[in-house]
Structures are given as structure tokens and as C-alpha cells.
Amino acid sequence: MFIRLKRLLALAFLSVFIVSNLIFAADDWQIIKVSGHDYLSVDNISKFYGLTAKIMPAGEKMQLETVRSPLEFVQSSREVMINGARCWLCFPVIEHEGKFLVTRTDLAKTIEPLLRPQRVSNAGKVQTVVIDPGHGGHDKGALSRYGSEKDFALDVARTLRTLLQAKGLRVIMTREGDYFVPLEVRAQIANAARNSIFVSIHFNATDRDPNATGFEIFSFTPRGAPSTSENSVAPSSLSMQAGTEVDAQSVALSACIYHSMIGHIPEFDRGIKRARFAVLRLTRVPAVLVEGGFLTERGESQLIAKKDWRAKLAQAIGAGVENYVALGVKKQPPMLVADYRRQNKSQPVEFAAPEADLSLVNLIGEAALISPSQPAAETSSPAPQAALPVSPLDSAVIVP
């Protein structure tokens, strides 16, 4: 009797869920025109995905906040937390007639592939991983007192190759040693390989802020949109390139790798970004460019100089690639930052300084080997419901 009641209740609950979804699917997306551009309300997006969405006041430092909601937009900003990772919209959230609005471009090109990478067509279809260690030869890349970007990138790439090969993936390196390969040749290598993905490994540098730290990852900027570093649409972004058919796959790959990076290693989360870097523009396969920390920041440059830390970075990127590949098999949401952090809690990794590093540290009078970790942005990882209505990419919302 009790079991029957429970079953009845479950059925009632399920039918309410289905009916509410049907009702919602019926009125679907409500496009709001503002100055000739198409927007959707945050409420509409939240309802469609069945996920709570928050609007954070502008200027609030989101990195100091505990992430409480799978979707956290920032007023008048392009910054958004999606499933616990920072991401950057192409256009800022605007307020219009009492509603917060997001552009149609961002819904289709950013939010959908980040929230449901498992639904991106051909996501996870990978035969070959093309690893691209940035720079090389005369092009040293960024420099720290411990070494140059070209060498650190090559070391991470080599470890990553071994890890991916051990998982049965075919790997091609755009360079095997310390020599320069033109950017277009790197892209050609990826384009020539069957069902390949392209992962470019770099380290960051800036002369504007010596305290800048953290990870970031880039995929190609959609047509008509500014890159994350640009504040407005440059004429070049409208005419320069046609955009690519693999945009959504690249964003899905970004999400898989980035969640693993910030889930494994407690560096600051600078976010999932867009850029028109040559290697991203010239590749016609899913492509990302990873920035594994700043060589211009004291603490981070010390970490990057440690071989075991670089191995950990390679492992994190490798786990992300594996998760992307799994999308093609399981069609299930990938692991998120909170999942990785939970997994790692049972087996915390310490980056013990080798003897040589210790003496070097003493020599330069450094006390801390590891930069203070950022407060962990914990979030539950709500798996987007499988029974949701059609993807916005399938509906009228898609941007031509």
C-alpha cells in the first residue's frame, strides 16, 4: 500500500514535470528587440533550462563569493558564472523595462554549449588530438626568471601526449622540440588529421599588472562579436572571417578542459574566453588555447617552474580532453569543477619542492612556495535535465 502510494506520488510528480515542460515548450523563447538586437530574458533562460539564475550587482567581486547558482549573471557585464566556472559572454547583460536580458548570440553561441556540451552535434568525435606547444626556437614566448614559455609549454605537451596515448588516443604534436613552426602550419597539421581536436598550450604574461594570476582558456570568437579583450565590435570582427561550423564544439572542449583545470589546481579562475588568435582562426576543427598561469607573477612563475606542477597541469588538461571524448560516447553532461574538487578532496596533491627548487627559493628569499589559493568556488553540479525542450541551436534562436 505504502509502496503504491509512493509510486502514485512519483507518477504525479513526473506528469507535472512533463506538463510544465510542454507548456513551456509551447510558448518557447520570447525574443525581445532592443535597438534592433535580439535578446532573451534571464527568466526565460532560467525557465528553459530549469536552472536557477541570479543577477549579481555590478562591481561585486565574484571570485570572493561562494557560487550558489548554476547561472550567475553580473549586471551590465559580460562576466557570468556557469556551473561554477567563470565565462565571458560576447555582449553584456542589459536591463530593459525591469528585465535582465542576454543577447540571442550569447544564448546560442555561449550559454547553450557551455551548459549542455553533451548536446553539441559531433561533440566528442575525436580520433586525433593535435597538441600545440606554443612558440619555439627564436620565439621564446613569455619569460620568467626560471625559464621561457616555449620550454614549459613543450614539457606540458610531452606529458600530455604520454597521458593521452595511454588512454588509446592518437596524438600529433605540432612541434617535437625547440624550433619554431609557423602558426598556419600548426593549423594545417590539425586540419589535415581526421576528426581531430587542437589544444594549444601557452603561459601568460602581462606588463600591466604584476599580480595578475590564474588560468584561462580561449576558443574562436563568433562572427559579429567582440573578443573578450575587446570592449566593442571592431569592423574587422564583422568582415574578417565567416565564423566556423565547429564553434560550439570548441566551446564544449573549452568547458571540458577548463572545469578540469580549475577543479584540479587551485589557481585563480580567469574564465572561458574568446579570441581571434591565428591558431584558432586558421583551424577548422574544434580548437582551444590554454593559458596555464602567469610567468610574470612571482608565486605562479615558481609553480610553473616545477616539473611536478607542470605534470599536474598536463594531467588536468588530459582529464578534460578525456571528458570531452566521453561526450561522444555517453551523451551525458561532463564532470564539472565541483565534481573534480570532490574527487580530489580524498586525494589532495601537494607540490613538494624538490631540493634544487628549495635552494633556489632560499636564494631569492621566498617564503611561500605555493601562492595562497583562491577561496574555492563550490557549487553543486546540477546535471541539465535530459527531458528539456529542444536546444536553442535547433530553434529559431540560432544566429545566422
Q: Please, what is the minimum distance in Å from the beta carbon of residue 256 to Zn ion?
A: 21
Cα–Cα distance between 49 and 121 in angstroms, integer?
Answer: 18
Select 134 or 263, whichever has its Cβ closest to Zn ion: 134
**At 56, phi and psi to the nearest 5?**
-90, 145
Which regions of the chain does DSSP assign to beta strands (E)? 32-34, 37-41, 53-56, 71-74, 79-82, 85-88, 94-96, 99-103, 128-133, 143-144, 147-148, 170-173, 196-204, 215-220, 269-275, 287-294
Burial of 152 (0-12, 13-18, 19+ CB in 10 A): buried
Residue 323 region by backbone torsions, left for phi larger than 0, else alpha for psi between -120 and 50, else beta: alpha
Residue 135 C-beta: closest distance to Zn ion, Å? 6
Least distance from C-beta 139 to Zn ion, angstroms? 9
Burial (Cβ within 10 Å: 0-12, 13-18, ≥19) of residue 7? exposed
Least separation in angstroms between residue 202's CB and Zn ion is: 3
**Binding residue count for Zn ion, defined by CB under 5 A:** 3
**Per CB under 5 A, which region of 18-26, 195-203, 215-223, 356-364 contacts Zn ion?**
195-203
Stretch that binds Zn ion, among 199-207, 214-222, 326-334, 346-354 (CB under 5 A): 199-207
Question: What 3-state DSSP class applies to 347?
Answer: coil
From candidates 86, 150, 175, 202, binder to Zn ion by CB under 5 A: 202
Least Å from the CB of residue 277 to Zn ion: 9
Rounded to the nearest whole angstrom, what is the least distance from the CB of residue 394 to Zn ion in the complex?
A: 37
**What does the per-residue mask of binding to Zn ion show for 57-96, with x meaning CB under 5 A?**
----------------------------------------
Q: 3-class SS at 112?
A: helix
Q: How far apart are CA 201 and CA 134, in angstroms?
A: 6
CB of 134 or CB of 226, closer to Zn ion: 134
Contact in structure between 179 and 139 (CB atoms under 8 Å) = no
Q: Among the candidate windows 194-202, 238-246, 278-286, 384-392, which touches Zn ion by CB under 5 A?
A: 194-202
Q: How far is the CB of 133 from Zn ion (least distance, A)?
A: 10
Task: Pick the stretch among 10-18, 131-139, 337-345, 383-391 that binds Zn ion (CB under 5 A).
Answer: 131-139
The C-alpha cell that represents 12 in the structure block: 504525479
Sign of CA dihedral 282, 283, 286, 292: negative
Query: Applying CB under 5 A, does 134 fall inside the site for Zn ion?
Result: yes
Q: Which stretch binds Zn ion (CB under 5 A): 42-50, 95-103, 124-132, 140-148?
A: 140-148
Nearer of residues 28 and 151 to Zn ion, judged by Cβ: 151
CA distances in angstroms from 356 to 154, 256, 271, 306, 359, listed in the order given: 21, 35, 33, 10, 5
| Binding window for Zn ion (CB under 5 A); candidates: 26-34, 80-88, 133-141, 256-264 | 133-141
Q: Given the rule CB under 5 A, which residues bind Zn ion?
A: 134, 141, 202
